[in-house]
């Protein structure tokens, strides 16, 4: 059987649309878009600020919709990446949870004709019984995907940060329990897996046990580009969506970028296009 070819995507922000030549080049190269929402949200959502936080997200995704319309890009052809940082806590009865935010946000996006989403595996509470919590999460995930295509990104590299907050990372066997039999699919991330070879091992392990993986996020050391050799290894093993999340120059760290928000940390769009062309030509 002939191996299917990969479909390439790259992340874009609202600011990227200011460079019309860059967007037109992505379209000409048939590179899809994953929308990176930059609206910052707290991991522990507060009822008093919930509507304000949700309104900020609605404003940003509406701006994306207007920009897509200008380029005649149908919203259902792009992907929306979860807003507001690594993950949310979904479990609990008294407080607004990350699930509530995603449910209301997805409902708004549906009205704008968006259909494809990437969410991060939710935080667990270190004090909660994992299986009880996961059963609750499974029911909530089913509600999120009722009218949308959802992929759940396995978050591993940040588990020490999560642990320090008294939370648990739902990765490894926990995300497998969460996703077993679900319509949503697991999404792998090269940075979160710890490198290209580790991603391939995780991919083979999951697929050998019946999990379907449709997409892999490509970046290392938090948003630096993979080399062509690293992308080549992925292409030999995987025939699904490959989504570039690289945008930082090698001499700058993601922490420096977050502190300064300096454009000097970012690879210029013309150079970014050459890297993406190199991926496609492999």
* pLDDT of res. 87: 61
Residue 176 has pLDDT above 90, yes or no: yes
29-35: average pLDDT:
96
| Sequence-ordered alpha helix ranges (H) in 29-87 | 50-70
pLDDT at 39: 82
pLDDT tens for 127-151 read 888 888 899 899 999 888 877 899 9
Burial class (CB in 10 A: 0-12, 13-18, 19+), 170: buried
Closest Cα partner for 26 from 131, 141, 239, 35? 35
If one compares 16 and 156, the residue with the highest pLDDT of the two is: 16
pTM, two decimal places: 0.92
Per-residue pLDDT at 1: 35
For domain 7-281, the CATH architecture is Alpha-Beta Barrel (3.20)
Q: How far is CA 250 from CA 225, 241, 245, 263, in A?
A: 8, 24, 14, 14
CA torsion sign for 260, 119, 51, 13 is: positive
Q: What is the pLDDT of residues 78-99, one digit of tens each?
A: 999 987 665 677 876 556 778 8
Instruction: Output the CA–CA distances (angstroms, integers) from residue 235 to 3, 60, 91, 196, 209, in the order listed.
Output: 10, 33, 37, 11, 21
CA distance linking residue 238 with residue 193, whole number of Å: 15
């Amino acid at each position: 059987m002939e191996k299917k070819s990969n479909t390439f995507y790259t992340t874009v922000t609202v600011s990227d649309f200011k460079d019309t030549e860059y967007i037109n080049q992505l379209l000409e190269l048939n590179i899809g878009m994953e929308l990176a929402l930059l609206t910052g949200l707290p991991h522990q959502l507060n009822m008093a600020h919930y509507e304000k936080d949700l309104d900020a997200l609605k404003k940003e995704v509406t701006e994306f919709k207007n920009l897509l319309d200008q380029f005649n890009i149908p919203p259902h052809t792009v992907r929306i990446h979860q807003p507001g940082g690594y993950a949310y806590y979904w479990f609990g009865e008294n407080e607004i949870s990350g699930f509530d935010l995603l449910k209301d946000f997805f409902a708004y996006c549906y009205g704008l004709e968006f259909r494809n989403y990437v969410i991060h595996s939710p935080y667990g509470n270190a004090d909660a019984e994992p299986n009880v919590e996961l059963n609750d999460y499974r029911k909530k995930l089913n509600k999120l995907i009722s009218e949308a295509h959802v992929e759940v990104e396995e978050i591993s590299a940040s588990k020490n940060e999560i642990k320090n907050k008294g939370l648990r990372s739902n990765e490894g066997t926990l995300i497998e329990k969460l996703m077993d039999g679900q319509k949503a699919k697991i999404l792998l991330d090269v940075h979160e897996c710890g490198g290209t070879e580790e991603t391939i091992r995780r991919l083979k392990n999951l697929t050998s046990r019946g999990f379907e993986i449709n997409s892999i996020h490509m970046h290392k050391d938090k948003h630096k580009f993979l080399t062509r050799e690293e992308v080549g290894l992925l292409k030999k093993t995987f025939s699904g969506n490959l989504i570039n999340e690289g945008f930082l120059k090698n001499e700058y760290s993601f922490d420096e970028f977050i502190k300064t928000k300096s454009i000097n940390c970012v690879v210029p769009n013309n150079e970014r296009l050459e890297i993406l062309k190199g991926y496609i030509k492999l």
